[in-house]
Amino acid sequence: MKSMLRSLFDTIEVLLRFLYYSLEELILKFSCYKKNVAGKIVLITGSANGIGRELAIQFARLGSILVLWDIDEEGNNETGELAKANGALAVCAYRCDVGKREEIYAVAEQVRREVGDVDILINNAGILKGKTFLDLSDSDLEETLDVNTASHFWTCKAFLPAMVARNEGHLVTTASVSSLVGSNKLTATTASKYATFGFMEALAFELQDAGKKGIQTTIVCPYLVDTELITGAQTLREFFFPILDAGYVAKEMVDAILKEKLYLVLPSYARLLVLKIFFPKKIVYLLAEYLGLFRLFDHFRGEPKRGQKTKEN
């Protein structure tokens, strides 16, 4: 009887807190509150072009100290110059192949020594193969998982301890709408993005349970972004799922970080894709075909070799 009463009271408390937090979020949505990142150390992986470059420019305008990681040194240095021109307090560009754990650890130690403890870690680097599963080589699969997923483990291992020690920091990951739904010729990418989403969400819960509420987590799930990474990809129902501009995605990401959102899905209604689990199999396939998920990469022209500018997001 006591356990039933306890359960009832717990349920009532949760419902009341649910309503309170919903009202609080509604008020915050229309408020001007945004955290100040001036002088904060922001590390961005995959910063040589695309979303990463746009993020660097956005944070530069907010007066942040930028740490830029990319395998493409030339493109990364160009991003650094753009960041300086847009008001970054300081810019430090490093060559780092995030597909290699030991390289991540080595460059992370260099950053701590030369710049300091990272305040905002943005895991943005990614690759996409655009092949059917049986056409993917073993090295394709391993490389995709190393860059898109495992790199998040190693960067968090490197920079999270300092955040935990001071109970302050922000972890951000550029996942994908493919974290929510699969697509033809994206088996490796979808697997890596699902894993990334799950890792970051579980880590957020872990930090909350540990009382480290000063450490924020933001998981970003954009649809296809107009970068060289998706050259040749075509969206069938553009009025539902248009290919997104990298500048727009970066702007929305920065806004989500400043407002300390847990999830950012672009376009926002794409989160409805998770409802697929309630539908019969034939309806799932019907909707997937209608939305073009079978044909996105029919004209994909292949990914560049490692180190070329189109490698990172």
pLDDT digits (tens, 9 = 90+) for 171-196: 999 999 999 999 888 999 999 999 99
- In angstroms, the first-to-last Cα distance of the chain is 56
Q: With 90 as the cut, is the pLDDT of residue 167 above it? A: yes
pLDDT for position 310 = 37
Could you give the angle at which helices 187-209 and 138-145 cross, rounded to 10 degrees? Answer: 30
pTM for the predicted model, two decimal places: 0.89
Lowest mean pLDDT, pick from 6-10, 84-88, 135-139, 280-284: 6-10
Cα-based torsion angle of the residue sequence 150, 245, 267, 228 in order, rounded to the nearest 10 degrees: -40
Q: By the 8 A CB rule, do 288 and 294 touch? A: yes
Residue type, 26: L
Strand, coil or helix: what is 258? helix
For the ranges 50-54, 59-63, 120-124, 223-227, which has the lowest average pLDDT?
Answer: 223-227
Nearest to 223 by CA among 193, 257, 261, 187: 193
Supply the pLDDT for residue 304: 52
142: three-class secondary structure by DSSP: helix
Beta partners for 42? 66, 120
- The continuous run of DSSP H or E covering 144 comes out as helix 138-145
Domains of the chain: 34-311 (3.40.50.720)
User: Is residue 301 scored above 80 in pLDDT?
Assistant: no
pLDDT value at 306 more than 70 = no
Residue 213 has pLDDT above 80, yes or no: yes
* pLDDT computed for residue 187 by the predictor: 94
